[in-house]
Chains A and B, each alone.
Chain A
Amino acid sequence: MVRATLKSLLARKVRLLLSGLAVVLGVMFVSGAFVLTDTLGRSFDAVFADGFSDVDVNVAGKPKVALSEAEGEQVATPVPAAVLEQVKTVPGVAEAKGVVNADGARLIGSNGKVVASFGPPQLGENWLGESDLVTLREGREPRADGEIVVNAALAKAAKVKVGDRVGVLTLAPKQEFTLVGVFGYSGGRDSIGGVNEVAFTTPVAQRLMLGEPDVFTSITAQATDGTSPESLRDAVAGALGGQYEVKTGEQVAADASASLKEGLSFINKVLLGFAAVALLVGTFLILNTFSIIVAQRTRELALLRAIGASGRQVIGSVVLEAVAVGLIASVLGLGAGIGVGALLAYLFGKLAGGLAVAGLGVPAAAVIGAFSVGLVITVVAALLPALRASRIPPIAAMQDVANPDRPLTRVTVGGAVVTAIGAGLLFLGLGGHAGDNTLATILGGVLFAFIGVALLTPLISRPVVSLLGAIFAWSVPGKLGRLNSGRNPRRTAITAAALMVGIALVTGVTVILDSAKSSISSLATDTIKADLVIAGAQSGPRPPSFDPAVLDKAATLPGVQLVDGEYGDMAVVNGTRTWVAASSNVAALERIFGTKATAGDISRLAPDQLLLSSDTASARNLSVGSTVTVQLSRGDARTYTVSGIYESSQLTNPMVLPPQAVRDFAMPQPIQGFVQLAPGTRVEDVQPQVERLLADSPEVTVVDLGSFVKQQTSQLDTPLRMIQILLALAIAIAVLGIVNTLALSVLERTRELGLLRAIGLRRAQTMRMITVEAVVISLFGALLGVVVGSGLGAAVVRALKDEGITKLVLPWSQMGTFLILATIVGVVAAVLPAVRAARINVLGAIAHD
C-alpha cells in the first residue's frame, strides 16, 4: 500500500508542486522570522559586550520614569560628581571615570539637515580619551568648550571633516562647534552597531546632554588585578548604599541587549502573524488540491478498495502522501527561510547604519516551527479529502463516475455556525467584553469569520459566479468559461476564498486607517484655529523639537495674534505613567484648540497648578482642588493642584502642566508650535518670516494647517503600506491556487477539450475559455474579499467610535483597483493552463482505445 502511494505520488509530482509551494512560502515566513530575530539578537549581544568590554563595574542612577524601547528614550537619573570621588576610594578600584552619555545629540550635516537615525541612538558624551576600543583617526581630542570630536560613521554621514564648524542640537537649541577630531574603533570599525557619537568636553557634555553641571550618566570602574568584577561590584554597592544601580559591565551589556531584544520579539510576532495568514491561505490551497486529486483518482482508489484495501488504508495512503508533501515543503521552506532571515538581518544591519550582523545561525525554534507547521498544515488539509476517499465504494471502479453534485446543506450549515461563532467573538472582542484577551478574541473572531465565509462560499458561488460570468457570456468561449467556473462550486469557492483572505485583510486595514485618518483630519481642521503650524516628521524615538526662542520672536511679528508652543513628556502621575503636555501659552487651549472647560478655570495656570482632561479626571477620580504628585523625566517629584478640567477630545492631552515644568522634561524644547494670525493677515506674508526664525532648528518646518494635518495623518501610511506588502504574499499564494485549480481542471477535462476542438473550437477560443474561467474565479474572490474586508473594517471602526473614529471611509477607488487587479491576476493565472489546454492533442483526448 505504501509502495502504491509513493508511486502514485511520484506520478503526480507536478500537480503537487504548486500546492507544496504554498506550504514552502508559509514555512519560509515562520523559519525566516526565527532566524532573523536570532541573528539580530546575537548581533546586539556582541555590540553591547563590546561597548562594555573595558568596564568592570558600572554605577548608574535609577530612572525616574521607566520606559521600554517602544515608548521612547528613557532618561537616566544623573549621578552627582561626588559619587565619582566616593567610588575612587573603594578598595579594589584601579580607576574610575565619570561618563556622560545620553541619546539626543543631533549633528547638522554639511547639507544643513540633521543626520537622521532610524533606531540606533545618537549619543552625546564626554571625551574620555583613547582606549583599547576607541582611537582617534584624525585630529586631536576636544580641549576647549567649543570643540568636539565625532565617530567616523557620523563624520561620513554628515559629510564633515576636521576643522569644519558644525551645528549640534542637544537639550539646548543649535550650538556651533569646531570639529577637531574623528575617532574609530578597534578592528577598523566606523561605528558600533550603527550608533553615532558626538564627544564634548566634560562640562559641555554635562550641560547640553544632562541639563545640569557636575553630574554624570554613570560611573565606570576598573578593578585592580586580582579583584573580580563581582566582588568589586559588591564592594562599590556596599559603599554607595541602595540609591544607585551597581552592576558588572557584563550585566549592563546583557540588560541593554535584552531591552533591545524585547523590540525584536515584536518584529518576530508580526512576521509570525503574516506567516499565519500565508499558511491559512496555503491550507485552502492544499485542501483544494487534495480534493481534486482524490476526485480524479476515484477509480484508482475504488480499484484498491475492490481488491481488498480497507477504508483506513485508503485514508492512510492519502495522509501518507500529505506527509511526504509536507516534509519536502518543510525542508524547502526551512532552507528558504534561513536565506530570507539572513537577508533581512543583513538589510536591517545596513538600515540601522552598519550593525555588524552576527554569523548565520539556525535556532532550534526555526527547525521545530518549520516542520511542525509544514507537516501539521498539510496533513490537516488532506484529512478531509482522505475521509472522503475512504468512503468511495468499490463499485465506483466499475462505473463511469464523474464528480457527483453533492448537496451543499451540511457545508452551508457548518459555515453559518462557524461564521456566527466568528461574529460572536468579534462582538465580544470589539465591544470590550473580553478583558485582557481582547486581541486574541478579535483575531480568533477574524479567523472564524474567514473559515465560516469560506464554507458559505459554495452556496453563494453559483449565483454570484453566474452573474460575474454574464459579463463575458457574449461569446461562445466566454459562455463556456462561465459555465465551467460554476461547475464545481466547492472547488471554485475554496480557490476564491484563498484570494478572499488576503484581499479582505488589506481592505479591512485600509478601511480602519482611512477612517481614522479622515476622522482625525476633519476634527483637526474643524477645531484648530491656527494658521501656521511648526512641526516636523518623527523618525527616531524622539519627536523633532525647536528653539523655544522662536516662539517669543514669532509673537512679535506683525500680524501674529497668538503663539503657542507645545511640550510633552512621559511622567509618573500618582504612581501611574502617562503622557503629559505643557503649553507656553495656556490661553491657547481655548483660543486655538477651542477646548471648553467643564470645571474650574482653564485660561490660566500658576506654577503649582495643572489642568486635566475630563476623561483623565473621571478615570483617576480627580476633581478641581485635588492634589497630584508628578514625577517628570528629570528632577524631583512635585505636587500640583488641579485648577481646571477641560472636555476631552481626540486632540486633547490627558493633562497640561504649567510652562515652568518644562525644564524637567526629557526634551525641554517645544515639539509643536501653533501660530494664529490677526484677521486680515495673509498666511503667505507671515510664513517666510517664521521660516527665517527656524533657520537654526532644521528638524522642523512651518506649514499651514492643512499641510500639517496631512503630514500628521500621513504617518499612518507607512504601516498601511507595510501591511499591504506583506499581505501581497498571501495574495500571491492565492494566485498559485487559481493556477493549480485551473491546471487540474484542464487535466480533468481533457476529453471535453478534445471534443470542443474536434467540433471546431479554435486554439485562441480555447484559451479564452480558460481565461474567462480564471477571471471569473479571481473576480469572485476579490469581490468576497472586498465585501468581507469592508465588513470587518466597518465593525472595528464602529467599535472605535468612542475613541474618536467617527467617520467610516470605504476606500472605493482601492476596492476598484482590487477588482481590476483580480482581473489581471485571473488572466495571468490562466496563461499556463490555457496554453496547456490549447495544445491538447485532439486525437489523444478523444480516442477511446
Chain B
Amino acid sequence: MTATVGQQAQAAARASDVWKVYGSGEAQVVALRGVNAEFERGRFTAIMGPSGSGKSTLMHCLAGLDSVTRGTVMIGETTVTGLGDSGLTKLRRDKVGFIFQQFNLLPTLTAQENILLPLSIAGRKPDPAWYDTVIDTVGLRDRLGHRPAQLSGGQQQRVACARALVARPEVIFADEPTGNLDSRSGAEVLNFLRNSVREHGQTIVMVTHDPTAAAYADRVVFLADGEIVSELIEPTAETVLDTMKKLDTPAEVAN
C-alpha cells in the first residue's frame, strides 16, 4: 500500500519510488522498497514503525544524509538524489534543520552560539525579530550564555530545536528527539515543535517509536518492512498504539 496525501505543490519533501538496498548477494538487506511519500508544508508528520522497519533510513534518505539505491528524493524544489557532497552540504545548510536524539550540541559553544551555528557556517545573519520569537518560544533567554554541560537534557534539546528553527529551513527532521528525555521534558519539546508548526508554519518530519510522541503530530505514516503500510490523520496515542499493534507481528523478522 502506498500513501499519497496532500497537494503536490505544497510538498516540502517528497520521496518517489525510493529503494534502499544494503550489501549485495547473500548479505543483501532491503531497507526501503519503493516508498512514495509526500510531506506537506506547514504540517507536523511523524514516521512510525517497529525497529528495523526502515523509518530511520527513510528519514536519512529524505534529509540527504544517505543515498538512495533507486528513486528520487526532493526537498522543496531541489532534487536531492544525485547531489555530490558539496551540494548535499549546501542543502543541509540552507534547506534542512536537524534535531537528533543526542549529541546535538557542540560542547565548546554556548547555547546562543550553538543556536546561531548553522547561520554562521553559512555566513548569514539571523532575522532579529524571528530570533527573538524563537528564543522566547523555547524559553531559554536566561540560559543563552551557558555551555551544554551546564544545561539539563530537556534544555539541551530545546536549544537544538531553536537551532533548527532559527534558520527557517524548508523542513526540520527530528530523529527520536525525546528518546533520551523524561516524559515531562519530552512533552515540553513536543509541545514546542507542534507550536512552531501551528503558529509559524514550520514543516517538521519526526521519526519516533513512542505513540505518545506521535500523537503530537498532524499525521502519522507507518512503515513496516521498508514499505508504507498505513497512515493516520489527527492521531491520538490510542489510535497510534492500535495501528502499531496490528503491524508488530509480521515485522519481527527484520533487522
- Chain A residues 445 to 503 lying within 8 A of chain B, measured CB to CB, are 476, 480, 483-484, 486-487
A14 proximal to B (CB < 8 A): no
B93 proximal to A (CB < 8 A): yes
- Chain B residues 100 to 152 lying within 8 A of chain A, measured CB to CB, are 100-109, 117-118, 120-123, 149
Q: Which of A483, A759, A760, A846 contacts B108 (CB 8 A)?
A: A483
A247 proximal to B (CB < 8 A): no
Interfacial chain B residues near A756, Cβ < 8 Å: 106, 117, 121
Q: Which of B92, B123, B175 contacts A759 (CB 8 A)?
A: B92
Known contacts A476-B120, A761-B89, A763-B89; A849 and B103 CB within 8 A of each other: no
B252 proximal to A (CB < 8 A): no
Known contacts A483-B109, A484-B108, A755-B104; A763 and B86 CB within 8 A of each other: yes
- How far apart are B64's CB and chain A's nearest CB, in angstroms? 9
Q: Which of B89, B94, B102, B107 contacts A757 (CB 8 A)?
A: B89
Q: Which of B60, B103, B121 contacts A761 (CB 8 A)?
A: B121
- How far apart are B27's CB and chain A's nearest CB, in angstroms? 18
Q: Mark B39-75, 1 if CB is under 8 A from A, else 0.
A: 0000000000001000010001000011000000000
- Chain A residues 134 to 182 lying within 8 A of chain B, measured CB to CB, are none
Contact B92 A758 (CB under 8 A): yes
Interfacial chain A residues near B120, Cβ < 8 Å: 476
Residue tally, chain A, CB below 8 Å to B: 25
- How far apart are A742's CB and chain B's nearest CB, in angstroms? 16
B163 proximal to A (CB < 8 A): yes
Interfacial chain B residues near A849, Cβ < 8 Å: 51, 56
Give the docked Cα–Cα distance between A217 and B95 (Å): 96
A402 proximal to B (CB < 8 A): yes
Interfacial chain A residues near B118, Cβ < 8 Å: 759-760
B216 proximal to A (CB < 8 A): no
Contact B121 A843 (CB under 8 A): no
Q: Mark B160-177, 1 if CB is under 8 A from A, else 0.
A: 000100000000000110
- How far apart are B177's CB and chain A's nearest CB, in angstroms? 12
A95 proximal to B (CB < 8 A): no
Contact A760 B86 (CB under 8 A): no
Give the docked Cα–Cα distance between A483 and B148 (Å): 14
B85 proximal to A (CB < 8 A): yes
Q: Which residue of B lies closest to A750 (CB)?
A: B103
- Chain B residues 79 to 96 lying within 8 A of chain A, measured CB to CB, are 85-86, 89-90, 92-94
Contact B121 A476 (CB under 8 A): yes
Q: Which of A476, A759, A760, A848 contacts B101 (CB 8 A)?
A: A848
Q: Which of B56, B85, B106, B123 contacts A755 (CB 8 A)?
A: B106
A847 proximal to B (CB < 8 A): yes
A233 proximal to B (CB < 8 A): no
A85 proximal to B (CB < 8 A): no
Q: Which residue of A lies closest to B63 (CB)?
A: A758
A130 proximal to B (CB < 8 A): no
Q: Which of A483, A486, A848 contacts B100 (CB 8 A)?
A: A848
A721 proximal to B (CB < 8 A): no
Give the docked Cα–Cα distance between A486 and B92 (Å): 28
A416 proximal to B (CB < 8 A): no
Q: Which of B98, B102, B106 contacts A848 (CB 8 A)?
A: B102
Q: Which residue of B lies closest to A838 (CB)?
A: B85
Give the docked Cα–Cα distance between A471 and B196 (Å): 39
Interfacial chain A residues near B121, Cβ < 8 Å: 476, 756, 759-761, 765
- How far apart are A490's CB and chain B's nearest CB, in angstroms? 16
- Chain A residues 742 to 765 lying within 8 A of chain B, measured CB to CB, are 751-752, 755-763, 765
Q: Which of B51, B56, B94, B176 contacts A760 (CB 8 A)?
A: B94
Give the docked Cα–Cα distance between A759 and B98 (Å): 7
Q: Which residue of B lies closest to A848 (CB)?
A: B101
Contact A760 B65 (CB under 8 A): no
Give the docked Cα–Cα distance between A849 and B57 (Å): 11
Give the docked Cα–Cα distance between A847 and B98 (Å): 12
Q: Mark A648-692, 1 if CB is under 8 A from B, else 0.
A: 000000000000000000000000000000000000000000000
Contact B85 A763 (CB under 8 A): yes
Contact B65 A842 (CB under 8 A): yes
Give the docked Cα–Cα distance between A763 and B88 (Å): 11
Contact A760 B60 (CB under 8 A): no
Give the docked Cα–Cα distance between A407 and B38 (Å): 53
Q: Which of A402, A480, A847 contacts B106 (CB 8 A)?
A: A480
Give the docked Cα–Cα distance between A686 and B39 (Å): 99
Give the docked Cα–Cα distance between A93 and B163 (Å): 104
Interfacial chain B residues near A480, Cβ < 8 Å: 106, 108-109
Give the docked Cα–Cα distance between A757 and B121 (Å): 10
Interfacial chain B residues near A758, Cβ < 8 Å: 65, 92, 98, 100
- How far apart are A768's CB and chain B's nearest CB, in angstroms? 12
Give the docked Cα–Cα distance between A765 and B121 (Å): 9
Interfacial chain B residues near A846, Cβ < 8 Å: 65, 100, 103
Contact B163 A755 (CB under 8 A): no
Interfacial chain B residues near A761, Cβ < 8 Å: 89, 93, 121
Known contacts A843-B60, A843-B65, A849-B56; A759 and B86 CB within 8 A of each other: no
Known contacts A483-B109, A484-B108, A843-B65; A759 and B163 CB within 8 A of each other: yes
Contact A762 B106 (CB under 8 A): no
- How far apart are A404's CB and chain B's nearest CB, in angstroms? 9
- How far apart are B50's CB and chain A's nearest CB, in angstroms? 13
Give the docked Cα–Cα distance between A751 and B102 (Å): 10
- How far apart are A298's CB and chain B's nearest CB, in angstroms? 16
- How far apart are B119's CB and chain A's nearest CB, in angstroms? 9
Give the docked Cα–Cα distance between A847 and B86 (Å): 21
The residue in B65, B66, B94, B97 that gathers the most chain A C-beta atoms within 10 A of its C-beta is: B65
Give the docked Cα–Cα distance between A176 and B108 (Å): 82
Give the docked Cα–Cα distance between A757 and B56 (Å): 18
- How far apart are B235's CB and chain A's nearest CB, in angstroms? 24
Give the docked Cα–Cα distance between A848 and B107 (Å): 18
Q: Which residue of B lies closest to A845 (CB)?
A: B103
Contact A843 B89 (CB under 8 A): no
Give the docked Cα–Cα distance between A761 and B179 (Å): 26
Interfacial chain A residues near B89, Cβ < 8 Å: 757, 760-763
Q: Which of A752, A757, A762, A842 contacts B103 (CB 8 A)?
A: A752
Known contacts A843-B60, A843-B65; A760 and B104 CB within 8 A of each other: no
Task: Knowing that A755-B103, A842-B65 touch, tell me 13 more A-B residue pairs with CB under 8 angstroms.
Answer: A476-B121, A480-B108, A751-B103, A755-B100, A757-B92, A759-B97, A759-B98, A759-B163, A760-B93, A761-B89, A761-B121, A848-B100, A849-B56
Q: List 15 A-B contacts (CB under 8 A).
A: A476-B123, A751-B103, A752-B103, A755-B100, A755-B104, A756-B106, A756-B121, A758-B98, A758-B100, A762-B89, A846-B103, A848-B102, A848-B103, A849-B51, A849-B56
Nearest 8 CB-CB pairs, A to B? Answer: A760-B93, A483-B108, A751-B103, A476-B120, A759-B118, A843-B65, A760-B92, A762-B89
Seen from chain B, the residues whose Cβ lies within 8 Å of a Cβ on chain A are 51, 56, 60, 65-66, 85-86, 89-90, 92-94, 97-98, 100-109, 117-118, 120-123, 149, 163, 175-176, 179
